[in-house]
Amino acid sequence: MEYLLLQVLNGVQLGLLMFLLAAGLTLTLGIMDLVNLAHGSLYMMGAYIAWTLIGVTDSFVLGTLLALPAIFLLGVAVEIVVIRKLYARDHLTQVLATFGLILFFNELVRALWGPAGKSIAVPGFLNRTIEILPGVPYPAYRFAIIVVGALVAILLAWLVARTRLGMLIRAGASNRRMIGALGVNIELLFSLVFGLGAVFAGLAGLMAAPIASVRIGMGDDILILALVIIVIGGIGSIKGAFIAAMVVGQIDIVGRAFLPDILKTFMSSSAASSAAPAISQVLVYVLMAVVLVWRPTGLFGQRT
């Protein structure tokens, strides 16, 4: 029972981490109809910038708090130099151009920080386990990820449902031309939203840094996963992204924690232990294919 609870919690934690990454992506995709593959690069830059600032300030909290505005500025800069020119273009152009950005950022990081990976330590006050139930320890830092992820989800929900910016985002997701007609300064709004998306990406990167390793290309692997989540949830839907992230998180954990045992009930032990990871590796892709065959615009996407 405790075991089950812990694994569910692991799934929630993983899902929220992925939601952090997907949130920024769905924001830019939803409002600006922009496929930004370089989102993973912003995730990586968040981790590297945080590493530098934590080194300078010698404080995890301070370094992190300074890194967020820095990554916002980076995001706005990228938007002005490249992204701005992509809004009017088709998805293919966007994929190509932002793919070019990935290559650029990976090599830039290597030139600036060197090829060796970096490490961010878990801050002292979180470097312990806490008892979520009597006698059931859980790493405090993982719990912090859950808290931050949940806070971001709530913040976004509030932002989208209750604020003027949110109104524009919702309007943008359903009809982009409308916002222009409403007399909104689109250029500024888009820069702002892209910067905000970058902040979410950077936040995901620096939150993941203490459990993962800060390295070149760290965002490339999980970018695809973030795109998968958005597509399952439906483009532009924050709610969809959240639900999809939670489902993918749970599926991933189930695949790793329970699938081998389930398979062992009807196949040999060695066959099960080699089949299980293969199955769990493709499970999210199968899920996405099934969802799209069933609903061609994702779970909560706009019907066309």
Partner 1 sequence: MKNKLFGTATIAAAMAFGLPAMAQSPIKIGFVSTFSGPQAAIGEDMRRSVELAKEHLGGKMGGKPFEIIYEDDQFKPDVGKARSEKLVQQDKVNFIAGYIWSNVLLASYKTVVDEGDTILVSANAGPSQIAGDLCNKNFFSTSWQNDQTPMAMGEYLNTKGVKSLYLVGPNYAAGKDMLAGVKRTYKGKIVSEDYTKWPDQLDFSAEMTKIAAAKPDGIFIFYPGAHGVQFVKQWAQSGLNKTVPLYQVFSIDAITLPQQGDLALGTLGAQEWVNDLPNEANKKYVADFKKKHGVYPSYYGAQSYDAIMLMASAAEALKGDLSSKDKVRAEMKKANFKSVRGDFKFGNNNFPIENFYIQETVKDPQGMMTVKTIATAVKDAVDPFAAKCPMK
Partner 2 sequence: MMAALRTPRGLATALILLVLAVLPLLTQAFDQRYLLSIGTRIVIWSIAAVSLNMILGYGGLVSFGHAMFFGIGGYAVGILSAEGVSSGWIQWPVALLAATAWAALIGALSLRTRGLYFIMITLAFAQLVYYVGSGLEAYGGDDGLNISRSRFPGLIDLRDKASFYWLCFALLCASLWFCGRYANSHFGLVLRGAKSNELRMTALGFPVFRYRLAAFTIAGALGGLSGILLANEGAYVSPAMMSWMKSGDLIVIVVLGGMGALFGPLYGTIAFFVLEEALPPLLNLAHKGWGEYWMIVFGPLLVLIALYARGGIDSLLGRRHE
What is the binding site for partner 1 (CB under 8 A)? 3, 6-7, 10-11, 13-14, 17, 106-107, 110, 114-119, 121-122, 127, 129, 137, 139, 141-142, 208, 210-213, 215-218, 221-222, 224-225, 252-253, 256-257, 260, 270, 273-274, 276-278, 280-281
Is residue 149 a contact partner of residue 16, using CB atoms and an 8 Å limit?
Answer: yes
232-261 binders of partner 2 (CB under 8 A)? 235
Amino acid at 180: G
- Number of helices (H), then strands (E), belonging to the chain: the values are 12, 2
Q: Which does 174 bind (CB under 5 to 8 A by kind): partner 1, partner 2, none?
A: none
Contacts from 284-291 at CB under 8 Å and sequence distance 24+? Answer: 284/225, 284/228, 284/248, 284/251, 284/252, 285/228, 287/232, 287/247, 287/248, 287/251, 288/228, 288/231, 288/232, 291/232
- Contact between 99 and 220 (Cβ < 8 Å): no
Binding of partner 2 by 85 (CB under 8 A): yes
Q: What share of the chain is helix, strand, coil (3-state, %, to 5)?
A: 75, 5, 20
- Cα angle 294, 299, 301 (rounded to 5 degrees) comes to 110
162 neighbors 155 (Cβ within 8 angstroms): no
Contact call for residue 274 and partner 2 (CB under 8 A): yes
CB 173 → partner 1: shortest distance, Å?
29
Binding at 86: pick from partner 2, partner 1, none (beta carbon under 5-8 Å per type): partner 2
Nearer to partner 2, 124 or 294 (CB): 294
* Contact pick of 100, 119, 176, 214 for partner 2 (by CB under 8 A): 100
Residue with Cβ nearer partner 2 (56 or 282): 282
Residue pointed to by tokens 């020119």: 85
Question: Residue 156 corresponds to which amino acid?
Answer: L
Give the nearer residue to partner 1 in terms of CB position, either 139 or 166: 139
Q: Which does 101 bind (CB under 5 to 8 A by kind): partner 2, partner 1, none?
A: partner 2
Nearest-approach distance from CB 52 to partner 2, in angstroms: 20
The radius of gyration of the chain's CA atoms, rounded to the nearest angstrom, is 20
Applying CB under 8 A, the residues found at the interface with partner 2 are 29, 35, 82, 85-86, 89, 91-97, 99-108, 110-111, 224, 227-228, 231, 235, 274, 278, 281-282, 285-286, 288-289, 292-293, 296-298, 301, 304
